[in-house]
Structures are given as C-alpha cells and as structure tokens.
Amino acid sequence: MEFTKIAGTELTVSRIGLGTWAIGGWMWGGSDESDSIAAICAAVDHDINLIDTAPVYGFGRSEEILGKALASHGLRNRVVIATKVGLDWRDRQPYRHASRRRIFAEVEASLKRIGTDYIDIYQLHWPDPFIPVEECAQAMLALLKQGKIRAIGVSNFTRLQMRDFRRVTRIHTVQPPYNLFERESEQDVLPYCLWHGITSLAYGPLCRGLLSGRMRSETAFSGDDQPKIDPKFQQPRYGQYLRAVAELDRFARENYGRRVIHLALRWVLDQPGVSVALWGARRPSQLDPLGQVMGWTLGHDAMQEIDRIVRKNVTNPIGPEYMAPPVRAEIAAA
C-alpha cells in the first residue's frame, strides 16, 4: 500500500480509501450487513486505513454499519474516518441543507451512529446555494476548535467556492468525482489543490462500475441502481463507453498483464494533484483487484495512448452532473 499525509494535519492515510456509499444500500440495489462488515475488516487487512462515509449513504445505514464494524473488531484506532455533512432528506429524497444549526446537529448524529467521540475528516458534502459559504466554514472551524473533528474537507466544490471557504479557514481535503471518463476536475479543482496544498480524495474511480470491465450491453439494472439514471448508461453513449472499456482492457493486458479495472485505478493514482482514490466495496471479494494496482505506474506514453483510446471511442461524453442533489426550493416545489 502507498500512503500520504493529509496536508496540515498529523494524519497519514492509505492512497486507496474505502468508499462506503454502496454499504448503505441506497442507489446500489441494497447491501448485506454481515458482508459489509466483512468488507470493512478486509479493507483494513489490505492496509487501507481511510474509510469514507456519509449520513445520506443509506440514510444513516452506512455510518451505523461502520460503527458496528469498528466496535466489534476493535478498529477505531487503526482507521481514519471521513464522513460528511450538509445533505438532509425527505421521503428518501436528499437535498442540500448546510446551515450552521444543521451542521452542529448532524455532527452529533454522525458521532452517535459511528460510535466515536471524534471524526478525523469532516467534509461539506455539497455546496448549499442558500447558505453563505462563510457560514459553513465558520461552523466547521468551530467543530475543529471543539475537538469534534480533526480536519476540514469539502466535496463537489468548485475552485471559486473553495477560495471563498478558505477566506475563513483552511481546507485540508477536497473530494471531487474523477475517473478516466469524468475529468472535469483537471480544469481547476486538481490544479488548485496542488497550488494550495490541499489533499484530494478522488471518488468514483471506476465510474459507477463502468470501468470494472464487467458490464455488457445486455447488463440489466434494477431497483434504485445508479446506472438507471446515469446518462452514460443510456444508448448510444453506453455503447461508446463500452467500446472504450474493451480497448482499454486490451491495452492493459498487452502492456501490463493486468485488466482495465487495475488500469483505471492506477490511472487515477498517477494523476497530478490526486492524493487518494476512494474504492467502493460492500463485499470482501470486491477488494481483490487491489493487489494488482500497487507496485507499478503509468508512464507518459501510456497516458497518451489511454487518452487517445478514450477520445476515439467516446465521441459524445457527459460528466457526473446528474448526481447533484436538489436544493431546498426544488424539494418544496415538488
């Protein structure tokens, strides 16, 4: 495992973190609690010490399962916990809500669900356009001074939003969506992190499983699976992305003796400005590919060829904009 420091703190984290959105079950077709706890323990056995969660993942369930795993296996002192704040929900519909009062209430709820007296990294999940960013930053700073959190993070923020936040307090981490098919963060977020010494935690390195190499044109999605609402999984785009995945898989096999799933994660880790990649797993077996991700890197020529493959096949790309939750006014009008 490779490790890195969280800028401005004493925290050292694995460069692969465990993402637990799927453990919550919501938008991932459900999850099994015993499998999820086993996955958390397996991640620690893989030397992963960063675990990322959020209240909205399963509407509290992900944090609760994490808390059970920590308590039953004595893991709290072996892991760095990152969770989030700023999303509320009604009838299983999340919406942005990041007032000072909400932040103070939500940290207490997360501490209780996880079963800990402090959170290592506390992240504002999405910017709330109805709340001045300065108010959010002041609330987070207050929690830091109280010792309830060890580091301040933001997620899904633009460069300008980070700039305004940093006028009040330091940002230790930022969490943008980033993978071979969603590269918008290269334009401003990742360069901003490099310039200002902010640790980046890239989420979605497999693009909702699209880069796993396991999806086919006939793959069926059911229930609340994300691909049902992700435009990448709708034809004709879906076919374009699958052709790119197939060619990337051939490239990985012929040049590295690996598969596209390993290539996709290594690519994220080798990008300038990326400190950590978050790998989602809700079963221990989903961590098996990690053994072939470490110990090698992608050189300049390989990066160029990967870019060429993606450009050639994906002629109508689209980003992760569909994931943005509504604001309170949109919920009220619904």
Could you say which of 57, 192, 203, 238 is catalytic? 57
Alpha-carbon distance of 14 to 262, in angstroms, equals 17
If residue 61 lies in a helix (H) or strand (E), which one and from where to where? helix 61-73
Strand duo 87-90 + 93-96: pairing: antiparallel
CB 214 within 8 A of CB 242: no
Cα–Cα distances (Å) from 20 to 7, 40, 50, 283, 309, in that order, read 23, 9, 11, 11, 31
57 is catalytic: yes
CB 132 within 8 A of CB 163: no
Alpha-carbon distance of 126 to 259, in angstroms, equals 33
Tokens 């893989």 belong to which residue? 46
**Burial class of residue 304, CB neighbours in 10 A (0-12, 13-18, 19+):** exposed
CB 281 within 8 A of CB 155: no
Alpha-carbon distance of 169 to 134, in angstroms, equals 9
Tokens 């916990």 belong to which residue? 81
Other beta carbons within 10 angstroms of residue 232's beta carbon come to 22
Question: What is the Rg, in whole angstroms, of the alpha carbon atoms belonging to the chain?
Answer: 19
Enzyme catalytic residues: 57
